[in-house]
Chains A and B, each alone.
Chain A
């Protein structure tokens, strides 16, 4: 498979990334060669092979339902650039 510039633009929107035309050109080229490389996976017949999402087969890891005090709001907000009235602030959203 190869990736077209249009696809790269579509993917960049999904990923919330923005590229200049020059970058886009270069990126499309590099991505295309990486995708051609990873395409070698499709040489392999994997019919009937189960996908491995977790390499160590563990299950049912749970936490008990016990309240622990939350973090001080000051600390929660300390890394935010825009804040107001104890909230994080973002550009006005029109719903």
Chain B
């Protein structure tokens, strides 16, 4: 067997992103502050082009390439397209933030693009070797990005002046925890390799289906790999990095971390749980149940105590990832599609929530404490309304998209026979409603702060428009959910 040109045709989107990211890196060197928009423009072109190339490959049944290290199938293609769409919006939100925080450097876009490339490799991995390399490629730029932007804050007392240091501290925590998690994952993979003699997902999966008695080493490998997976999602007890990183990172980076890696993590979960360990599902389901319940409990209860909105949303992420795990363990019939819908809608809501923080922030002022939102409805009625949409959706109140996502997951759970688990999930969602609704109350019923900082600016028209598109898409997906559900179901058709 040798490589044919057709195999390269299957990875055109990956090649395109790698080539364009390298090009942008070089072009950016010759740009001045005034022409820096070219970097932004080229990055968006890159994402649009990648979306087009991936779109062309949609529906071309499962095909492997490069000696079974890469697979093109519907789920991978769909996840890639969704990642490009979200990446496009993340860049749109971040542009103004980067300009205003004196950190409008091309490296942000280049590192984000390379991270997206890693996600693409990860979601279409057909071998644990590519899975691991994709994981590293998507995580490494993020470690740097968290510490990257030197925020120059002027007006906010000591805690804000130190925000550069908090960024570095968050990055260190993220890096060390991430390195440990990938070490765990690698160790698990090496155990699997020792037993099966292969990195290939297809070989390992067929080995496991043939074996009547599962070797203990395989179970150990599975456990280590699950730890790596849970870390990427931030499920309890591997959640410690999430609040610090979300709060310590510049908001533009938090926006990126809170949306795209969740989608890539979902792809990784599908590659590991469905493609590789499907035969062992009773074994991993137990672990997932424990992690899901713990995540929902810790996330929802710890979020109540937060006064910083970014930190609160971080804990809410942990709770939502618990919910996502419920969808994953509900099984192949409807659970995976429900989980896919859930993760896409969650990413949309996180995009909106952190996007609003970005839109409201201005030079030297991070609009991130819940206190800052006091009386926002009087000052920025549109933004407040959209924030309300997104928070209600995060709570899971109809007619917003979040309700539909939760409904699908619970439905799948009940069909799979986990009625008690569904009841627990609903209970924790009710607890979670408290802190979302509190922000709404602060925005609409509290008096605005009496003094505003000198640099205060109203949100620009384009910022409002962007937030409105985001908020209304949450509403529309809630009213007409069939489109996204059909897409998710068709992704799992083999």
A and B assemble together: no
Identify the A interface with B (CB < 8 A): none
